[in-house]
Structure 1
């Protein structure tokens, strides 16, 4: 896991990895807390691809850059699966479950 706090860190992370999973997380939202727990269960059991964590309260410019760069409206919590510079799958809120992540990120 790499916490992304600047746009420069985001750029480097995306350049270094052809496939990544990005998790936008709000530390004050109970829905986001549940989504984070589901995501961590998935990460624990699946040995997943490199993933970046964006805490929206402290890294809003990074969150905005992700929305603009990939053309995916900002939501929080939100997961984006990026492959070769394009979002191939994304979801948000209650749809962030271990089961959905397993099915979408092969």
Structure 2
């Protein structure tokens, strides 16, 4: 699997208008907890169905996009944070040690 970098606010609109599932992972490059959550996520991410786009947001570089995600999907900003989007709606929002590939997979399947 491979990350799709979120670097353009227009990508949020694309995710909102897409059908099916997408995952957004918000990461702080200045936080060791966020780094551990990212590594854990990447260790298990092969379990996520292949056709599920995995978006990665460096929120230090793109705070504007992080704010847009919170507004668009009606979630409280956290970092690290994983959002599971289905047909334009956030159906799963987890943060810190609660981020779980297994939970995402269970929700998709």
Shift of 1:94: 1.0
Q: Deviation above 6 Å: which 4+ runs of structure 1?
A: none
Match of residue 90 from structure 1: 93
Q: Which residue in the other structure is 1:66 paired with?
A: 69
Aligned residues: 106
Q: In structure 1, list runs of 5 or more residues that go unmatched.
A: none
Q: Is the 8 A contact 1:41 1:98 kept in 2?
A: no
Aligned to 2:13: 11
TM-score by length of 2: 0.84
Q: Which runs of 5+ in 2 are unaligned?
A: none
Task: Give the conservation status (yes or no) of the 8 Å contact 2:47–2:101.
Answer: no
C-alpha displacement of 1:16: 4.7
